[in-house]
Structure 1
Amino acid sequence: MMRPRRLRDLRPPGLPFHAVQRMDTALVDRVARLPRGPWDPAFSWLTRAATHSKLWIAIAAGLALKKGPSRRAAAHGLMAVALASASVNIVAKRLLPRTRPHPAALPVHRFLSPQPTSSSLPSGHSASAFAFATGVGLLSPPLGAALVPLAAGVAYSRVHTGAHWPSDVVLGSACGVGAAFVTRTWWARLETAPPARTTPAPAPALERGEGLAVVLNPASGPAGTDSAARVRELFPSAMVKEVGEDDDAAEVARTLAATSGVRALGVWGGDGTVGAVAGVCADLRMPLAVLPGGTFNHFARDLGALEGADVADAVDAGTALVCDLGRVRAERGDPEAPEEVRVVMLNTASVGVYPNLVRRRDHLRRRLPWLPKRAAGTLAALRTFGASTPTWLEIDGVRRKVWTLYIGRGRYWPRDIAPLERPILDDGVLDLRAASARPRFARLRLLTALVTGTAERSPALHEWDAEEVELAALGRPLVLAVDGEVVPGVRRATVRVERGALTVYSPRAAG
């Protein structure tokens, strides 16, 4: 086989950095002199596998199979690849035209065919490789360290196969690292939620449910479930009262509480039914046992009461905790003679599009159980805010134009537009978050923040804590959603938190 010509004779004319070109020529000449071996097909395969980022997408898919830091690291790595690829291939290659190495520079068995026709400077493969490795490493240093040799192999393969000059690879790698650090400022830094904390509360130990009266909503729970039989199985000695469609769960609870021998109330149903009975327990200072009979059971989840057997054990042992309670007082109808509505708030209240966001998020999580919670919330928020209209209202006397006002009974995490977790049930505050529609390009700014994971730092999202908040409609009456139940036609409303108002049996208290 003929020896390839030395590259000093093939140097493209007109390059401004002659010293760099001389170094590139010398290095490629040395690569051309390497003996033939099994590394040749290996580097050829590696460079083709990294084309269009196929290699990094495949690795990210593998990392995403395991829930946790590796999944977030993979997502961040792909975000960095997207930025690096766009900046190098769309911008840098147009601004820095350069001829690629001549086919005669390397042996024919090693040279990449067909050779790319775009500018040689900088290397897009190298940029994507180091963007992915660095992006993953910023969130998971061990995984990033494991990927660096592979990224370096991809970068070198571009020189080994004649696709790039060495300086192209160096600049491309630097662009990739820079892109990863840029996207690090986009990527949501998950504020660590505080450790779950409970305040123990005294409660009677009711063995087999002796002294417990349970309000049961038979319409709650999965179809075909015999709710009454399940409750009697858990609490053989308890009194069980089913509520009909026309019954008021709160009145039924008050009647049961006045029955001789009743020392605690229980409830089987969704958050609406649970809230009605919880209000009675708070008024009478009577312990409450919550059974997971609803569709989502958000309050029961926070109590650690998603399993009926665990709740029964807590009631038997008398393990209970202190919990705050939210109270909503709303005026609706004729302003001259308004109707007053009072509702208990266990979890959240909202004005605007937040209920639609929650419904979409929960729908995604049911259909795609492998989808991370935060990703489901982001996708739901994008769809909701992209198609919604803002609402005018007064919040504590201040006029605001908002997409949504979210009110959490207690602080929720993450601190963005789609919170999921409430580790402390008695912190005594309302968690308020307003997605403002007032700034210029507010919708675009909010959607951009959602895509980049920076909603909690967006100027369109305002967060604050309070013990009480007053709302007033400006123009059309408001639709106020409380724990999934809709209160239409609201002209004024007050939401406040009662600290430590409720004692609840909970498996968490045992911990």
Structure 2
Amino acid sequence: MHINRRPGPGWISRFDRRLVRRVSSFPGGPHDTFFRRLSASADQGKLWIGAAAIMALFPGRTRRAAVHGLIAQAVASAVTNAGFKTLLPRTRPLPEHLPVFRFVHPQPTSSSMPSGHSASAIAFAVGTGLVRPALGAVLAPAAVGVAYSRVHTGAHWPSDVVFGSAIGAGAALLTRKWWPVRPPFPEVTRAQTDAPPLPGGNGLSIVVNTLGGSYKEETAAALQEVFPHAYIKTVDPEESLEEAIQATAAHPGTLALGVWGGDGTVGTAAAAAVEHSLPLLVLPGGTLNHFARDTGTGSLKEAVAAVTKGEAAKSDVGMVTVERGLAGNPETAELIMVNTASVGLYPNLVRRREQLQPALGKPLAGVVAMFRTFAVGTPTVLMVDGVRHKVWIAYLGRGRYYPRDHAPLFRPVLDDGVLDVRMITADESFARLRLLWSVLTGTVATSRITHLREATEVLIESPGSPMALAVDGEALAGVRSARFRVEPQALTYYSPRS
């Protein structure tokens, strides 16, 4: 089928031919081979993909600059090839317009307007430069060279290159808020205090949860070797964890309570430590132990150093009042929260992210986990401080977490006195599409579906059927309401000052 290719407007056509005649008047030389090879290197974006691969070797802003450059290039290429080349058919320069030794062969058969090579080159350079200006400046000569090479080799008219370059710059600017660079996390600060120094674990009572994901038969023996004077209680699966922790905290001569286990075990031990006015030593153990990382005792060496020297700090705790059971005759219980609580799909998201993280890294694992979770999930109807919402996730952190988006990972301060409240809602029209688009573009934090705030007290109610509430990783079913508040500096924990 013959495609009728319209010539450009008169003045543009005259401008193009004048510039092409000027280029054709250049004498031949090594530069012809250089521009021909430079142009070929950018076919299908190979040059920019290679540059991005090199940049990806350097973590941080350089890697993010590469990602943004590729995103901008992909958008520019799609708009150019799938859009404008169909809407603006145009014949490419003919062999008589340039010396035969310079003319590209074989010449592309698609529309000359606009230049896809130019769009991709400028998009990648500008997209990279928006994140790392120095890298953008380094890439700019190569991008301009590729754009010019399309005229030098007769593949495009100059106006094709100008239009393609404008599309590339526009794509980079359009996507500048996609996958934004996260601001640096604030420094770790702790409210330092003193606790009894317990060399060798003298006066330390430790409870070990055998259901912890990394528990081994030699765990208790290894702890006893490190703390030869400590009392160590191993909790078997058939025992009540809460009763065992309470008994350990009340053991004669106990000056501090130690705990080995995951976040749920740590939360139960923290409640006992507050009740018995004991400092808490959090030992690294269990499937997940975020609080050990936050307190600075993420390794056994750090924990031993802190308890031996009596170095400690203060932490806020979250108090959670939960109502369960029948609406007319609810059962009330009060829990301590040291990390997070959530309603909705957040536990599924975290579980998938943790599974994928070793292979994909945190950022990509978070994206894939979000897609898998929300593609099949359904929102939950909740009343949050008296306002009705349909939510994908209602998340509360005890303390301000970073980054300030849908995937909090790090908490530098444990006594800031706030609850970190985050909701991803389905109240808006096309809720699922909005959510998946914001995940794809990395704009969840700035999307209308995301609500971020801080509070000292929050009430979450389920107006329909009871909800499932997760507190520090432990799931509670049949919950009708949960009230959260902050108890300032209620917990003393061992933490190395270095």
What is the Cα deviation at residue 97 of structure 1?
A: 3.0
Residue 343 of structure 2 contacts residue 468 of structure 2 at CA under 8 Å; is this kept in 1? yes
Report the CA distance between 1:84 and its aligned residue: 1.2
Question: Between the two proteins, what is the percent identity of the paired residues?
Answer: 53
Q: Supply the distance in 2 between the matched residues of 1:489 and 1:260 (Cα, whole angstroms).
A: 38
Q: What's the counterpart of residue 308 of structure 2?
A: 316
Residue identity matched to 1:173: S
The within-5 A match list for 1:11-26 is 15-18=8-11, 20-26=12-18
Greater Cα shift, 259-268 or 130-139 = 259-268
TM normalised by structure 2 equals 0.94
Report the CA distance between 1:340 and its aligned residue. Answer: 3.1
Q: How far does residue 189 in structure 1 lie from its aligned partner after superposition?
A: 4.5
Q: Residue 84 of structure 1 is aligned with which of 76, 91, 95?
A: 76
For the 8 Å contact 1:234–1:309, the answer to whether it is kept is no
- Corresponding position of 2:332: 340
Contact (CA 8 Å) 1:249, 1:277: kept in 2 or not?
no
1:112 corresponding residue in structure 2: 104
Separation in 1, partners of 2:197, 2:284: 20
CA drift at 1:164? 0.9
What is the aligned counterpart of 2:457 among 458, 464, 468?
468
Q: Which amino acid aligns with 2:300?
A: G
Distance 2:325 2:112 in 1: 71
In the other structure, the counterpart of 1:409 is: 398
Per the alignment, do residues 159 and 242 of structure 1 end up closer, same or farther by CA in structure 2, a change over 3 Å counting?
A: same
CA-atom RMSD in angstroms:
1.9
**For residues 133 and 15 of structure 1, do their structure 2 counterparts lie closer, same or farther at Cα, with a shift above 3 Å needed?**
closer
Query: 349, 359, 374: which is aligned to 2:351?
Result: 359
Pairwise CA distance, 1:214: 0.7
Say whether 1:330 aligns with 2:322: yes
Separation in structure 2 between the aligned mates of residue 283 and residue 140 of structure 1, nearest angstrom: 52
Give CA-to-partner distance per residue, 1:383-413, whole Å, 9 cap, x none.
2111111111211222221112111111111
Counterpart pick for 2:290 among 291, 298, 301:
298
Partner in structure 1 of residue 420 of structure 2: 431
1:227 aligns with 2:219: yes
Does the Cα contact within 8 Å between 1:378 and 1:418 map onto a contact in 2? no
**Residue in 2 that maps onto 1:452:** 441
**Alignment match, 1:212:** 204
Candidates 273, 278, 288, aligned match of 2:280: 288
2:469 paired residue among 467, 474, 480: 480
Change in CA separation of 1:17 and 1:316 when aligned onto 2, cut-off 3 Å: farther
* Amino acid across the alignment from 2:446: R
Deviation at 1:22, TM superposition (A): 3.1
1 CA distance for matches of 2:17 and 2:444?
49
Separation in structure 2 between the aligned mates of residue 488 and residue 315 of structure 1, nearest angstrom: 37
* SS of equivalent to 2:411: coil
User: CA 1:13–1:144 in structure 2 vs 1: closer, same or farther (change >3 Å)?
Assistant: closer
Asked if 1:198 corresponds to 2:159, the answer is no
Preserved CA contact (<8 Å) 2:191 2:314: yes
> Which residue is equivalent to 1:267?
259
CA distance in structure 1 between the partners assigned to 2:127 and 2:373 by the alignment: 29
Of the structure 1 ranges 138-147 and 231-240, higher mean CA displacement relative to structure 2 is found in 231-240
Matched residues in 1 for 2:308 and 2:213: separation? 24
Q: Which residue of structure 2 aligns with residue 138 of structure 1?
A: 130
Structure 1 position 490 matched with structure 2 position 490: no
Given that 1:265 and 1:286 are in contact with CA atoms closer than 8 Å, whether structure 2 keeps it comes out as yes
What's the CA shift for 1:81? 0.7
**Do 1:410 and 1:428's aligned partners in 2 also have CA atoms closer than 8 Å?**
yes
Report deviation, 1:372: 3.9
The one-letter code matched in structure 2 to 1:145 is A
Which sections of structure 2, spanning at least 5 residues, go unmatched?
none
Change (3 A) 1:265 1:24: same
**Is 1:383 aligned to residue 372 of structure 2?**
yes
Task: Determine if contact 2:61/2:181 at 8 Å carries over to the other structure.
Answer: no
Q: Which amino acid aligns with 1:165?
A: W
3-state SS of 2:452 partner: strand
Q: 1:36 aligns with which of 28, 31, 35?
A: 28
| Structure 1 gap ranges (5+) | 1-11
Cα distance in structure 1, aligned partners of 2:491 and 2:216 = 32
TM-score by length of 1: 0.92
Matched, 1:184 2:176: yes
SS of 1:184's equivalent?
A: coil
Cα drift, residue 92 of structure 1: 2.5
- Distance in 2, Cα, partners of 1:95 & 1:259: 81
**CA offset at residue 223 of structure 1?**
5.9
C-alpha separation in 2, matches of 1:39 and 1:305: 62
**Aligned partner of 1:289: which letter?**
L
- Of 44, 56, 67 in structure 1, the residue corresponding to residue 59 of structure 2 is 67
